[in-house]
Structure 1
Amino acid sequence: MKMGGSTQLQRVIGYFHGTIFLFSIIIGAGIFVAPKGVLKYSSLNVGVSLSIWAACAVVSTMAALSHAELGTTFPRSGAQYYFLKRSLGPFIAFFYLWINLFSTPAGIAARGLLLAGYITQPFYPGCFVPEMPKKCLALAILWCLGILNARGVKEVTWFQTVSTVVKMTVLCFVSVTGLVLVVRGRKENLDRFEKAFDGEVPNASQIAEAFLQGLYAYSGWGVLVRIAGELKNPSETIPKCVITALTLVALIYLLVNVSYIAVLTPREIISSDLILLINYVGFTDWIQLGLMMTGLLKLRYQEPHLSRPYKVRLPFVFGTIAVSLFLVLTPVIKSPQMHHIYVLLFILSGLLFYLPFVHFNLGSTYFNKITCFLQLLLNVSPADDTDEYISTEETLQKNPPETPAKKE
């Protein structure tokens, strides 16, 4: 849309559609695989596992409300990158893009493999699915989704609506089945809850790993900040949507986990591929979130008069930073694994690209030509005059235009 001679997105998403959109993004494949990882790292302790699921809901809500300040202060698409560049500098902003360049495809790959595994499992009863057919089917699914996204927004919206209905139908069926078994009071189902905390208690490192697994199922709550430029009144819409959607998601997840435990033994639940891949994604996600919260505090100090239509309470910000440090540092210090080293080496490898191509600006002419070519090929363009647009919004909020008096 053209506004004042510049390209800007239309603000067409309100509270209802924002809540439905956020709900459908969070409710994904994670709930079908994350319970396995949570139970594994909870030392098969049912009570600890359910407690971690409830705590993950609280942590996700706290982090989402803290994160919402970014989208309301800078109400535009891609707010995270702009915010990090403004608060912590281009170096940190580059690493945010560098991590997302690989962590986002890794998350999509995990979901594709999970879906392919569930589809092919009935053809291999009583044994594990071979890797080759599962990977080929996952690749085919990703290609189909890519083609669907390229066709337009209407097709994507239709597909998202249908897939959300299917997922909710499955989750409701699982929840009702498990609750019926619990209510009927069969001894083998109730014993797992009566002795919920009798198992081995996990150590701090295992609890951190369990949280990473559980929080993976809640991931996606930051999507509204990414599309803040398309939301009506972001300062009110984002916090309301976050609280409503995460409350519903937390209730469904707890019911589903109760049903899992009522039907299956803990050892039957924990059989999975994918647990390690979820750890990779969660580890990098919480590094980024910790940096964003640090930048939020720094910007509060550096620019105290910056227009902030929604200001999160500082205990939420400090709490999110504390959780980030716990989830990232505890496994590395207490029980370091090779995949932690791989992740850190991958993050630092971004220096090989940042120093020559960003800091020293080598080959900028060629990269500009490539960027222009891709924008023309894919028919995409960033919004114009970002700084000027935000400054104009701040001025309008402080000094709204006067309404001309009606002539008698």
Structure 2
Amino acid sequence: MTAKKRDAPQYAGVPEPDAGSGGGVRLQAKMSLVNGITVIVGSIIGSGIFVSPTGVLQFTGSVNMALVVWVLSGVFSMVGAYCYAELGCMIRKSGADYAYIMTTFGPFMAFVRLWIECMIVRPCSQAIVALTFSTYVLKPFFPECAPPEESTRLLAVCCIMVLTFVNCWDVKLATRVQDVFTYAKLLALFIIIISGVVQLCKGEVQYFTFQDTETDVTKLALSFYSGLFAYNGWNYLNFIIEELKDPVRNLPRAIAISCLLVTVVYVMTNVAFYTTLSPTQVLGSTAVAVTFANRLFGVMAWTIPIFVALSTFGAVNGILLTSSRLFYAAACEGQMPEILTMIQIKRLTPTPAVLCMALLSMIYLTVSDIIALINYVGFATWLSIGVSVLCLPVLRWTQPNLPRPIRVNLIFPILYIVATLFVTIFPMIETPYETGYGCLMIFSSVPVYLVFISWKSKPQCFHKLQVAATRAMQKAMVVVGAERPAAV
């Protein structure tokens, strides 16, 4: 499973890189500030804003408290992203929090984070978003009932396969797709927001009260799971920092602009929903935006499912673009198979890592209850991100001489860690069953680490089989070992 932490060898039968290309094959910095913003916005805005309002309202009890949770979730994300800006400019490696935990706490903790993210959270999330895409594409053809499950899953597979091809073909093409569909999803949300502003001007504010606000702290903490699920993706640009032009300048700007934009859009979208829908109607809806459109847009209500499909298509692309770099970074550290360190010799894309992510996602499409699986590891996801933020003060103490182009006031990581404990500990008390399953998934990483990574004296036949498999896949995909960037 593992690779030695070095440049991958050039195997027989695989062409050498073009000498005129500057010597060596590696990921190139092709992404501008605008590309960075659209990657973050495109990764955050997916299906969450169209389904999460129900979950937030369910655990807050009142519209005004639900809006408070949406604002606090945005602030929580911005604080975390601000902390990640220092970490990203200090440790400029693809892999983001995986690289930060590796540097700070060592390979075992990094592998646990990697296992949760790569094997469960990312592919499950991509499968769910792809299923949401296919559901809304098919919805106009089945207005009175749910689309057939087989057709929905088959279209989800097609969505993943098309975007896999795009990401294997060219990074610029993948970011162009991200740009186009980010603009499309923002247009959809702006239509909803403008409709809400019109409703506000008409005085439709009867539902904006704190009446029936939930007082149980554990339930309020659970409301943040739905809110933070919608904001999930704010740290995705850090996963591809090696491909961002001038990261010291562009990373914090992209984070600040995109997180602020998403927070404003999310809050205003929720305001728009509640100008037309009562809390009872929101709680009874599985797709709030469609219910909103049916009430307000009349014969044009069919446009909203189309816009939701565009939104989720872009989100699948964003997850695939960034997650494949996490596989690549982990393989470079020797915690994933060596083939994942390699770059396609002509296209200069991490093709093996992209294909691995796509394959895992399509496997999860066969699971009947993926959303429950995501809920089981939800607390672990935010806890592990909290551990990543903890790297910031720890590195200030243990490695004070590391170059820090950006220095964050330590009050921000402290606030973030406290908030993380709040949104993880209280839900654990409220939902011990889901927490137990989540812990089992986390602990399953321990035997994998001991056998495939910690155990160094494996039989010679194991190594021969690994080399033979790597050679075969390398020839099939025409990939070579990436030139490792100089240490920063």
| TM-fit CA distance, 1:364 | 5.0
What is the CA deviation profile of residues 383-407 of structure 1, one whole-angstrom value per residue up to 9, with x for unaligned ones?
Answer: 4445xx12xx5xxxxxxxxxxxxxx
Match of 1:238 in 2: 251
Matched AA of 1:149 = N
Which deviates more, 204-213 or 48-57?
Answer: 204-213
Could you tell me whether the CA contact under 8 Å between 1:78 and 1:226 is conserved in 2?
Answer: yes
| TM-fit CA distance, 1:65 | 0.8
Matched AA of 1:192 = Y
For the pair 1:48 / 2:70, whether they are aligned, the reply is no
Aligned CA RMSD, in angstroms, stands at 2.7
Could you tell me whether the CA contact under 8 Å between 1:9 and 1:230 is conserved in 2?
Answer: yes
Could you tell me whether the CA contact under 8 Å between 1:107 and 1:278 is conserved in 2?
Answer: yes
What is the CA deviation profile of residues 125-176 of structure 1, one whole-angstrom value per residue up to 9, with x for unaligned ones?
Answer: 4555554443343333323333333333344234323322321221111111
Distance in 2 of aligned mates of 1:300 and 1:373? 44
For the pair 1:354 / 2:369, whether they are aligned, the reply is no
For the pair 1:191 / 2:287, whether they are aligned, the reply is no
For the pair 1:272 / 2:286, whether they are aligned, the reply is yes
Match of 2:234 in 1: 221
Distance in 2 of aligned mates of 1:306 and 1:143? 41
| TM-fit CA distance, 1:178 | 1.6
Count of residues in correspondence between the two structures: 382
| TM-fit CA distance, 1:369 | 4.7
Distance in 1 of aligned mates of 2:162 and 2:396? 44
Match of 2:6 in 1: none
- Aligned pairs for 1:7-406 (under 5 A) are 7-43=25-61, 45-101=62-118, 102-129=120-147, 131-185=149-203, 189-193=204-208, 196-270=209-283, 271-272=285-286, 276=372, 279-280=375-376, 282-333=378-429, 335-361=430-456, 362=458, 363-364=462-463, 366-367=465-466, 369-371=468-470, 373-380=472-479, 383-385=482-484, 389-390=486-487, 393=488
Give 5+ residue unaligned stretches, structure 1.
394-408
What is the CA deviation profile of residues 62-102 of structure 1, one whole-angstrom value per residue up to 9, with x for unaligned ones?
Answer: 00011122211121322433322221111011112211122
| TM-fit CA distance, 1:355 | 0.8
SS of the residue 1:190 aligns to = coil
Distance in 1 of aligned mates of 2:404 and 2:476? 37
| TM-fit CA distance, 1:288 | 1.8
Distance in 2 of aligned mates of 1:33 and 1:290? 25
CA 1:286–1:349: 2 relative to 1, 3 Å: same
Distance in 1 of aligned mates of 2:371 and 2:270? 17
CA 1:325–1:145: 2 relative to 1, 3 Å: same
CA 1:145–1:10: 2 relative to 1, 3 Å: closer
Could you tell me whether the CA contact under 8 Å between 1:178 and 1:260 is conserved in 2?
Answer: yes
What is the CA deviation profile of residues 242-281 of structure 1, one whole-angstrom value per residue up to 9, with x for unaligned ones?
Answer: 1111111111111110111112222322333987565346
Q: TM-score, normalised by structure 2?
A: 0.72
CA 1:16–1:385: 2 relative to 1, 3 Å: closer
Distance in 2 of aligned mates of 1:150 and 1:163? 18
CA 1:90–1:254: 2 relative to 1, 3 Å: same
Could you tell me whether the CA contact under 8 Å between 1:26 and 1:219 is conserved in 2?
Answer: yes
Distance in 1 of aligned mates of 2:387 and 2:463? 28
Distance in 1 of aligned mates of 2:405 and 2:468? 38
Give 5+ residue unaligned stretches, structure 2.
1-16, 288-369
SS of the residue 1:356 aligns to = helix
CA 1:86–1:375: 2 relative to 1, 3 Å: farther
Matched AA of 2:424 = V
Distance in 1 of aligned mates of 2:452 and 2:476? 23
Distance in 1 of aligned mates of 2:140 and 2:34? 38
CA 1:371–1:258: 2 relative to 1, 3 Å: farther
What is the CA deviation profile of residues 340-388 of structure 1, one whole-angstrom value per residue up to 9, with x for unaligned ones?
Answer: 21111011011121111111133455445544544554455564445xx
Distance in 1 of aligned mates of 2:23 and 2:163? 35
| TM-fit CA distance, 1:183 | 0.8
Distance in 1 of aligned mates of 2:463 and 2:392? 31
CA 1:52–1:67: 2 relative to 1, 3 Å: same
Identity %: 32
CA 1:319–1:46: 2 relative to 1, 3 Å: same
Distance in 1 of aligned mates of 2:280 and 2:134? 22
| TM-fit CA distance, 1:297 | 2.5
CA 1:213–1:375: 2 relative to 1, 3 Å: farther
Distance in 1 of aligned mates of 2:252 and 2:466? 38
Could you tell me whether the CA contact under 8 Å between 2:93 and 2:99 is conserved in 1?
Answer: no
Which deviates more, 131-140 or 219-228?
Answer: 131-140
CA 1:275–1:35: 2 relative to 1, 3 Å: farther
SS of the residue 1:227 aligns to = helix
